[in-house]
Structure formats: C-alpha cells, structure tokens
Amino acid sequence: MDAGIREFVRNRAFRLCEYCRMPDEFDPLPFCIDHIISQQHHGPTAESNLALSCFNCNSYKGPNIAGIDPETGLLTRLFHPRVDEWSDHFEWDGPRLLGTSPVGRTTIDVLNINDPERLEHRGHLIEEQVFPPPNR
C-alpha cells in the first residue's frame, strides 16, 4: 500500500480509530490501515474498503467480518466505517463503549473494545479531559 493512500485514510479519519475512536496521539501502539472486508474475503485495497484502526481493534478484528451478537446470539456483521454512521451503533458510558444496535454490540465484543486495560487507558484520558473526541 503506498504512502499516499495511508495518509489519505489517516486524514479522513481525523487520526482516530474508526472503531473505538482512540486518537492515535494517545495510543502507544502504532495505528494500522484496516481492510474493512479483509483480504481473506477478497476486500480490495481501495479507499472505500480501508479504515484507520488502532492496534488493539485491528488485532482482535483480524480477518473477521462478522460475529455473534452477545445479546441475541445471532450471527451479525461487524461495523463498516464507510457505510455505517458511528453514532447510530455506539455511545459512551464513561470509558465503556455501549453498543446501541446488534452491529455495535457485536463489534465491541469481537474487537474486545471494553477490555479492562483499554477501559483503564480511556479512564485516564477522560480524567485529563482529552477523551472522548468530539463527534464530527
């Protein structure tokens, strides 16, 4: 992937993880350019299939494109940052991210967004009043 497309994806996302909205400047781990539909499922390396992702979200997502909604037990697709509106699927409860739809709940579960270490990190950023970022 060339540097130009990486920079385009970073800037389009305002340098926030497009899943958990962590700003890259506050994360010690390097952010990744995520294939929303993974290459294993023939997702192209095209702007319409790329998203900025923190290392944690990207690692847990892996090649997954779906999961099991923890509330209903039903097979459910993951959040698609190019198609879905973030605020239609997620809301904050302090440092904890809540899924307000099946897609939101499933994405939080598969990407392990409320892992205790991640909650603690977001809690510190909230105390410093630099998180969550404004909705755009």
| Site residues for Zn ion per CB under 5 A | 17, 19-20, 54, 57
Segments of 54-132 assigned E as strands: 66-68, 75-77, 90-93, 96-99
SS3 (DSSP) at 99: strand
DSSP secondary structure letter of residue 25: G
Residue 63 CB, shortest distance to Zn ion, in Å, is 17
Can you tell me which residue has the tokens 């809301």? Answer: 91
Residue closer to Zn ion by CB (options 8, 86) is 86
Structure tokens at 93: 């409860």
Question: Are 107 and 84 spatial neighbours (Cβ–Cβ below 8 Å)?
Answer: no
Residue closer to Zn ion by CB (options 54, 76) is 54
Residue 67 CB, shortest distance to Zn ion, in Å, is 15
Residue 2 CB, shortest distance to Zn ion, in Å, is 23
Q: How many helices (H) and strands (E) does the chain have?
A: 4, 6
Residue closer to Zn ion by CB (options 13, 76) is 13
Residue closer to Zn ion by CB (options 76, 90) is 90
Residue 131 CB, shortest distance to Zn ion, in Å, is 12
